[in-house]
Amino acid sequence: MPSHLAARRIHLRYGPDAPLVLSEFSLELRADEFVGIIGPNGSGKSTLVRALSRTLKPSVGSVQSGELDLYADLKAREAAQRIGVVPQDTSVTLDFTVREVVHMGRAPHLPRSPFAAETREDERIVTEALTAAGVPDLADRVVTTLSGGERQRVLFARALAQQPDVLLLDEPTAHLDLRHQAELLALAGRLAHDTGKAVLAVLHDLNLAAAHCDKLVLLSGGHIAAQGTPAEVLTADILQRVYGARVWVRSHPVTGRPLVLSLPEIPVSLPVSTSRRTHVICGGGTGIGLLVALHQVGHTVTVGALSDGDPDTEAAQMLGIPWAREAAFSPLSQAALAEAERLAASCDAVILTEVPFGSANLANLEAVLALLRAGKPVGCLHSRGTSFDARDFTGGEATPLWKQLMAEGATLLENPSAALEWISNTDYGNFAGTQNRGGSRG
């Protein structure tokens, strides 16, 4: 399929002696495709939009609109008939009504005559654009009285009124709330897939980009660091290399598309001691933060029995932490429990997170008690002021085991920071939690 718009090995700079912002950059925008441009601040995203919209001419290379050179063969008016732009800056200083602003999108199509007037067809197109952008109720409002998000949608309607083949959106969700972010990007996707437009959007939110775009182009230092489907581009290794940030990438539970979560850094006030061997018993996502923290501090970590698909399983896999594997939606088997026991055998201490217990994972609580009785120091995460009963979904079988843990000397730990302090303490005494000797809580 031929491209609607294409950059061919372009170099871009702001002035003859300025450094290159984009270097040897090539990109094709095709019909039926929604492309997201992502990357760190200063990587060249907005500069690319300026080049593709006939605002900033490349010093080297060309931008092609179909078979024509965007700068050499097309005048500004002709380019505006083909390319619509929603700019990053939503400021409007003149007291036009919303409808008047959207009517400006029809200007490239009006006859070049001082007596030319808009037709009923133009009025119909403007009304449809207002409706598509979700602002028909604002049509008679003065645009300077609108919020930034409302102005953003008005400018989107103006671009729709141009009826372009290519739609360029520069950070279109910057001023929008969650609902309108999703609605605008869903509309952009429909314009690509249902009407054959080529749509490009500069986006900072990686999860919005993953959820809505067909293809992502990741920029870094004026070059393409990665491009492809969201799953191909949004990997932990690529994002850490480009953004310098540690992230956890998992599949969205509904769409299956990548979901990017930032990983917390360890507060500098927490102790970092020589490496300890820590066995963590968790589940249901209750262990993610602790696993990341222990891993970052440098402790050797193992994890008890977990089912496939559990968020804690994905975290352990991402961090390269060994765990005892069980099939999804299955009670913990003797094989998984035996593997967990093997992993725990050489640990210095055990930490139990605030995992809820049901019939499928009750054996993990029994394993914690067995490890305590075998002489392993055990710390149990449990928020102050809460009752263990709220975590017991076994019909009452788990609560006596918890009380036994408390009676036999497990240490209560109120949060992951307290757990880190406790695990770093040489004697595992009453350093960051409440030592329970002959008492119980919850």
pLDDT digits (tens, 9 = 90+) for 323-336: 999 999 899 999 99
List of residues 6+ apart from 56 with CB closer than 8 A? 12, 14, 47, 50
What is the tally of structural domains in the chain?
2
Same domain assignment for residues 359 and 243? no
Q: Is residue 264 part of a domain?
A: no
Closest CA relative to residue 49, chosen from 84, 91, 3? 84
List of residues 6+ apart from 345 with CB closer than 8 A? none
Q: What CATH number is associated with residue 322?
A: 3.40.50.720
In this structure, what are the phi and psi dihedrals at residue 306, rounded to the nearest 5 degrees? -140, 150
Same domain assignment for residues 350 and 245? no
Same domain assignment for residues 301 and 241? no
Joined tokens for residue 389: 């009963």
The residue segments making up the domain with residue 70 are: 3-250
β-bridge partners, 3: 30
Q: Is residue 79 part of a domain?
A: yes
Same domain assignment for residues 181 and 290? no
Same domain assignment for residues 422 and 291? yes
pLDDT truncated to tens, each residue of the chain (442 aa)? 556 899 999 999 888 888 889 999 999 999 999 999 999 998 999 999 999 999 999 999 999 998 999 999 999 999 999 999 998 876 777 789 999 999 999 988 887 655 566 788 989 999 999 998 889 999 999 998 988 888 888 999 999 999 999 999 999 988 888 888 998 899 999 989 998 999 999 999 999 999 999 999 999 999 999 999 999 999 989 999 999 988 888 888 788 899 998 776 655 444 555 578 999 999 998 998 899 888 888 889 999 999 998 889 988 988 889 999 999 989 999 999 999 999 999 999 999 999 999 999 999 999 999 999 999 999 999 988 889 999 999 999 999 999 999 999 999 998 888 888 888 775 654 444 444 544 444 5
Q: Is residue 195 part of a domain?
A: yes
Same domain assignment for residues 246 and 339? no
Single pTM value for the model:
0.71
Same domain assignment for residues 69 and 209? yes
Same domain assignment for residues 53 and 193? yes
